Amino acid sequence: MGVDSYECLFWSLSALAGEIKAKRISPVEVTEKLLNRIHEIDQTYNSYITVMEETAREATKKTETEIMGGNYRGPLHGVPIGLKDIINTKNARTTMGSEIFKDYIPDCDATVVEKLEQAGAIIIGKLNTHQFAYGPTGDRSYFGPARNPLDPTKITGGSSSGSGASVAAYLNYGALGTDTSGSIRIPATLCGIVGMKPTFGRVSKYGVFPLSWTLDHVGPMTRTVRDNALMLNVLSGYDEKDPYSVKTEQEDFTRRLEEGIEGAVVGVPTNFYFDHLDPVVAEKVSGSLNLLRELGAEVRELEIDRLEEISQSQQLVLKSDAYAIHKERREGYPDQWDEEVKERLLLGADIKAYEYARAQQMRHVAVQSFQKAMENVSVLVTPSLPILAPDIGQRELDLPGYEGQHIRWALIRLPGPTNVNGFPSLTVPCGYSDTGLPVGLQFIGRPFDEATLYRFGHAFEQALGLENRLETFKKTI
């Protein structure tokens, strides 16, 4: 087993897994090279808060011994993975991107961490996050903003900012993020990678610091669709410690990747999702729909009922839950907050009980509206975001439809509805602006039908030219 160059750091997770399984590459050497790369370049991107060097080295040595002895656990065995820093790790601090928790070390692991370690994954470190995961820009962390590897003057998107930046900069082979208003899909889109918000209840949230009890999801962020499915294979499963966890059968999410989409029907909403798009986004998404047609899919236009109300209810629930979760902490630590996060938290103080009840009731409306829209289609396809990556610190947009609004509204508008109904949503890169900023395509599926989303995402990704995309990435960083 040996590694002659740094080229292995640019492989996909699945490619690395194949080489590890065949004993043609050393997990110890891969981890060392990855740690060296983090030290060399992450001062530019600020994607990591804590690099877990000692524990990663110890775990990798154990891993290599197991693999050489014939005890191969599966595709994540020996693969370095990063964690958003709101996910508890008992052997490393979990900061929530905040001063309040800057030295906090939990006494147990989150369930998703246990699952990764049982699969033999190497936890390489904890990744930057918008403070307490409450912000889609990703540039409000006590540890400074994460920076977009495709242009370090631009935001990564949030709140899983370090997760998006680290995967895009080849500083791990995959990462975990969380998604309450799009916080996996936003940074995945703006950093040009793949992000999955699984069905609500599919992945345990035990040991993950909450932002909203009924909107939060945990999911994988990766370089490719196949990599994403491999990670969800490990993460998925019922957990009695999470009251929102749903009992499901174990399944292989890669099983439909090679089926293609010829003869399938794709639904494209004519309302809401295509309003107020940056012209570059509109152009790339239109081209993507044409590509789906070339792959043999029928693209069928449809409407989804009450989307504006669904979107507004998502924000009202989020404000209420976030205020309740942080009320005592805000009062006990009045000066240890980012001012923008603190100001946003206070928006939840005046929400009435009847308003919250009505917003929660919209969850059922959202389920019914999307079920009705999907009666005769396999998936829905929309833009992932309406805009390209803004500058770090930018708070207003010069784009019709968003005048006078905080930039967060543009970022959360398109991802937010499926946080309300819990439907799975996958974002896949679909092109780049002339300045090299990514655009994403969102695939929305039926509850617990992530395998179909991966099927469509993989077919689209391959037709778009994955290898060329990865080669382009390598030249930019």
Active site (catalytic) residues: 84, 159, 183
What is the Cα–Cα distance from 58 to 67, expressed in whole angstroms?
15
- Residue 63: which of 39, 81, 83 has the closest Cα? 81
Contact between 422 and 199 under an 8 Å Cβ cutoff? The reply is yes
Spatial CB neighbours of 67, under 8 Å, sequence gap ≥ 6: 20, 21, 23, 27, 77, 78
CA distances from residue 460 to 154, 274, 339, 407, 455 in whole angstroms, order as listed: 27, 20, 41, 30, 9
Assigned token pair, 398: 């010069």
- At 146 the three-state DSSP class reads coil
First to last CA, the chain: 28
* Bridge pairing between strands 175-179 and 217-222: antiparallel
Task: Compute φ and ψ for 12, nearest 5 degrees.
Answer: -75, 165
Cis peptide before 159 (omega within 30 of 0): yes
Tell the residue number behind the tokens 């508008």, with chain if given: 413
Contact between 441 and 428 under an 8 Å Cβ cutoff? The reply is yes
Q: Which long-range contacts (CB under 8 A, 24 or more apart) does 341-344 make?
A: 341/130, 341/131, 341/132, 341/134, 341/135, 341/140, 344/134, 344/135, 344/319
Assigned token pair, 348: 């939840």
